[in-house]
A and B are shown apart, each in its own frame.
Chain A
Amino acid sequence: MEAAAHFIPEIQLDHVTMEYESDAARVTALQDVSLTIAKGEFVSLLGPSGCGKTTLLRIMADLAEPTGGDLKVAGGSAREARLAQKYGIVFQSPVLYDWRRVKSNITLPLELKGVPRAERNKRAMELLELVGLAKFANHYPWQLSGGMQQRVAIARALAMEPEILLMDEPFSALDEFNRERLNEELLSIWSKVQNTVVFVTHSIPEAIFLSDRVFVLSPHPGRLSAVVDIPLPRPRTKEMRNSEEFFRLIARIRDSFEGGV
């Protein structure tokens, strides 16, 4: 059950549907999805490919418009939230600009907002410290490893102090070892920033390790098939990955998938 005491709804979806035409067939990416995410929560959208989790994230980010249903973010529409720059987004690939050094990749959103130079640089260095890459401020993105580039992308996403951090499978391009390490680093960063995080993944252990709640999505058509509470205490440690509770949760989530892949 949700901790009702300080539950402030940050993102609210009401019967959201997403359909589109593809080669003369009507595809239902999302069917009747309703959920609420609280302020300060870390939630995961978990499911196999085709379950609509990326579409759902994009709808929340106002990068796609649902064909039906209602969506409220921070009290207003998703569009208002986007225009007020309340989002930070991290994609599967870092999407860093090759022609800018690491530091100026991070200052880009601040430049767009019109923040003066001195302040921009200060903020960029703070963020680089936060993700542990302060030494690489003047490197070019391609000189960094994949994992490091993603950390830069995370720093950039946090540049404008967003209320909501949206992450679309940010670590799936990395190997398992790196991924686990970055999970821990992400939690450490999040504990300092304390915003709302919506994390898309297809990895059950990752979802459990990171989140307060896991939204399980099943495909064909994409729909919400379960919401699983993760009662593990914070801060999460890597020993928890081996606990019985952890494996029980894995089994529970796996069982809650409906339909074929």
Chain B
Amino acid sequence: MKAQGRYMPVLVWGTALLILWEAVSWYLLEWADVPMAQSKLPYFHKVLAAFGTYGGVLAAESWITFTNAASGFLLGAAAGALLAVLMSASKWMERLAFPYAVASQMIPILGLAPIVFGIVRNEEAARTLIAAYITFFPVALNMLRGLKSVPPAALELMRACAAGPWSVYWKLRFPASLPGLFSGLKIAAPLAVTGAILVELMGASRGIGVIMLRNLYYGPSHVYMFWSTVIAGALLGIASYAIVSGLERIAAPWQPEFRNKGGGR
């Protein structure tokens, strides 16, 4: 009953924006006679058309970017989770790695994309590597926070049942860390995709970023195709976030945000 009401505002906003888009587009082209009007804000329906015709190519290239980013993402996530477990188990490890984890957040991570490509001239390896690097530290930090968020009272209860350290991890710390882990994953996922695309801008031969650049440089005649690559890139980012969110619902459904809101006082 309430679900309909929840999606209504979204639909209305979405439609309103699209209408605004078309209106502004028309205004720029027909009324204000702005130079390169269609490059700046092309008609949405024309972009959609180009998206349709161009679809096969876009899908193929997006797939390449996506798979590289995904494998890097999984690699980085696994390594990050491992580091988080190590840091929570050993105070030395935490003291050693934590400052670097925080410091790495200060470095413009995406800025490393060209550098990674410079080192590893192989474009596939570079995509994977940068996605892994981007994912590694946020996952480690967030999962560590989750592992440490266990209330001391819960730990004491476990001790009272004479639970061994492995059980404590598996039955208590690990499930409790899942929300934190997914926080980190959700932050990293779109960034990993972005990193992979950036690598391609430095001179790759396949991938969505390459297509985007190519169409950009061909100028006004390719404007609809360019915009459809932009949409494809945006969809990739949104999709990666959505996939991780979906996984989160399956893996950690008990979280307050997923519960039904209700019950008045």
Contact = CB atoms under 8 A, between A and B. Distances in A.
A64 B265 CA distance: 9
B264 interface: yes
A239 interface: no
A100 B153 CA distance: 33
Nearest to A20: B264
Contacts of B265: 55, 64
B263 interface: yes
B197 to A, nearest CB: 43
A193 to B, nearest CB: 29
A242 interface: no
Contacts of A22: 262-264
B262 A23 contact: yes
Interface size class of B (residues with CB under 8 A): under 10
B256 to A, nearest CB: 16
Interface size class of A (residues with CB under 8 A): under 10
Interface string B156-180: 0000000000000000000000000
B260 to A, nearest CB: 9
Interface in B200-254: none
A20 B264 CA distance: 7
Q: Which residue, of B262, B263, B264, B265, has the highest number of chain A Cβ atoms within 10 A? A: B265
Contacts of A20: 264
Contacts of B262: 22-23
Interface string B22-56: 00000000000000000000000000000000000
A22 B261 CA distance: 11
Nearest to A63: B265
Interface in B46-72: none
B74 to A, nearest CB: 40
A225 B234 CA distance: 65
Interface string A89-118: 000000000000000000000000000000
A22 B262 CA distance: 8
Nearest to B263: A22
A55 B263 CA distance: 14
Interface in A11-58: 20-23, 55
Contacts of B263: 22-23
A28 to B, nearest CB: 14
B43 to A, nearest CB: 49
A64 B264 CA distance: 10
B227 to A, nearest CB: 47
A47 to B, nearest CB: 16
A261 B56 CA distance: 68
A22 B264 CA distance: 7
Contacts of A23: 262-263
A23 B262 CA distance: 8
A233 to B, nearest CB: 38
B264 to A, nearest CB: 5
A55 B264 CA distance: 11
Nearest to B260: A23
Nearest to B264: A20
A19 to B, nearest CB: 11
A10 B262 CA distance: 35
B60 to A, nearest CB: 50
Nearest to A23: B263
B208 to A, nearest CB: 47
Contacts of A21: 264
Interface string B71-91: 000000000000000000000
Nearest to A24: B262
A55 B265 CA distance: 8
Interface string A117-150: 0000000000000000000000000000000000
Given A20-B264, A23-B262, A23-B263, 6 more contacts: A21-B264, A22-B262, A22-B263, A22-B264, A55-B265, A64-B265
Interface of B: 262-265
9 contacts: A20-B264, A21-B264, A22-B262, A22-B263, A22-B264, A23-B262, A23-B263, A55-B265, A64-B265
List the 6 shortest-distance A-B pairs measured between CB atoms, nearest first. Answer: A22-B263, A20-B264, A23-B263, A23-B262, A55-B265, A22-B264
